[in-house]
Amino acid sequence: MATVLALAAAGCNSTEKQATSEVSPPTGLGSFYSQQPSWKGCGGNFQCATAQVPLDYSKPSGQKLGIALIRLPARNKSERIGSLFINPGGPGGSGVGFVRQAAEAFGSDLRKRFDIVGFDPRGVGQSDPVHCNTGRQLDAFFAADSSPDDPKETAAFAAESKGFAQNCGAKAASELPYVGTVNASRDIDVLRAAVGDKKLTYYGASYGTYLGAFYAQQFPSNVRALVLDGAVDPTTSSTGLLVEQAKGFETAFRAFADDCVKKPNCPLGTSMTAAQAKLTSFLAQTDKKPLGNTRDTRQVTEAHAVMGIASALYLKENWPVLRQALAQAFQKSDGTLLLALADQMVERHPDGSYSNQTDANMAVNCVDKPNPASAKAYGKAAAEAERVAPHFGAFVVWGGLPCVYWPVQSKKQPTPITAKGAKPILVIGTLRDPATPYKWAQNLASQLSSGVLLTLDGDGHTAYLQGNPCITRATDDYLVTTDPPKPGTICR
C-alpha cells in the first residue's frame, strides 16, 4: 500500500518527452482509441470524465462499459510530459478516490510535468461496479469463523462463502466473465490513447503491479515508464499467493511486536516470546467469546480481531493505534478500535453499507487464476499457511473460499511475465511488507526482461508516498527521464 542505502545517481540531464510516432489501435477498436473524453471540473483543481470500453474485446460492437477517470492537470504546461496513470491496488481499489486523496502527495517534479490520472478499473467504484452483497450479508461474512477448527465450523464457513458467490452470480452474471486483469489491462491502453499519450507512464501499487505487468506483456512497445510498487508475483497460484501473503503479515507483526516490547506499557509484554504467546492466547479466547464494542451492536469476533490487526500493519504510522487497540482489547475486553481498523480495511461505512471493494476484489481474484475444486483443498492450503504463519495463515487462506463456488472459473495457469521488448520497468519491494512479500518483488523483477529492482529496507505496504527521500528521488527521476536507478539500489 509502502522505503534506499546509497542511491546511485539516477537519470540524465534532460527529460524524455512522449514519443511522437503514432501507435495503431488494434483491429476493430479504432472508435475506442480515438475517443476524446469530455473533462469537467469536479471539485478543487480536479477534472473528471468517463471513457468507453467494450465489455468483451472479442465483440467490440457489443455492450460497452464506462470507465471513470479523474485527473489533476500538470502545474507547468510548457514542461508537461504527459499523463501519469495511477492504480492503488486491491483489486477493487478506486483509482478515482485514491487520486483525489493523494495526488498532491506525489513528488513535485511529477506534479509539474504530468497530469496525475486515476481510473476505476472495470467493475470497481464508478466504472459499472460489481455489486453482489448487502451490508448485512457482508457483515455476516466478515464476522464468520474463517479459521474453522472442526468439520462443523468448516461447513458453516463454506455455506457463508457459497452464499457470497451465489449472490454475485445472481446479481452480476453478465459482467463477471470480463472483470479480470486481462481485460482491465486492455482498458488501460484505450485510456492511454484517449488522453492523447503515445506511450504509457504508470504507477501501480500492490495488485496494481500485476495489472501494470500484464499491460507490459500485452503492449510492450507502448511502455514509456512503469513503476510497480509492492509487487505481486505472476507465477504464484491462487492459494500459494494467500499462503505467502499470510507469511508477510506474520513478518510484519513480528516487526511491530519487536518495536512494541521495547516501549513502556506495551500490551504484548516485554519480550518477543511473551508477545507471540499473548496474541495466541487472545485470539483463542476471542474465538470462544467475542468482544463487545461501543460503536454498534456487532460483536467483535476472532476474524474481526485478526482483520483489525492486519489493517494496522499496512502502515508503520498505524502502530501506535494498534498498540492502543490491543491494550483496549486485552485489558477491557473492548474491541471497538480493532473493529474500526477492520471496517477501514474493508471500506465499511458508519451506516452499515460498504463500498464495492470487497465484491470487486473477489470478482477479479476468482477469475484471474484457477481455483481449488473444493473446500477440502482450501483446508490443506490453510493448514500449510498456519504452520508458517500461526496468527494469520488460516484467516488469509480461508478468506478466498468463495472462489471455489464462483460462477466463472479460469483455466489459464499462472505464468511468468517477461514483457520482452519493453523499456526498463522499475519494480519496488519493501523488506517487511505485510501484504506483498519482498520475494515477490525479487521474482517479478527477475522475470521481466527489462526489470530493475529498487528495495526499501523498511516496514509497511508499498514504498512510494511514505516520504522516504531516497525512494521518492529514485522513482521521480525514473518517471521523468525513464532512466531507472542502479540495479540493486537499497533505500533505508
Q: Which of 146, 206, 311, 450 is catalytic?
A: 206
Q: Is 311 annotated in the active site?
A: no
Q: Which of 459, 461, 476, 477 is catalytic?
A: 461
Q: Is 189 annotated in the active site?
A: no
What distance lies between CA 429 and its chain's CA centroid?
14
Distance from C-alpha of 25 to C-alpha of 53, rounded to nearest angstrom: 13
Closest to 52 measured CA to CA, from 172, 182, 181, 193 = 193
Distance from C-alpha of 435 to C-alpha of 241, rounded to nearest angstrom: 10
Q: Which of 197, 229, 343, 433 is catalytic?
A: 433
Cell numbers of 372, please? Answer: 481449488
Q: Is 109 annotated in the active site?
A: no
Q: Which residues are catalytic?
A: 206, 433, 461
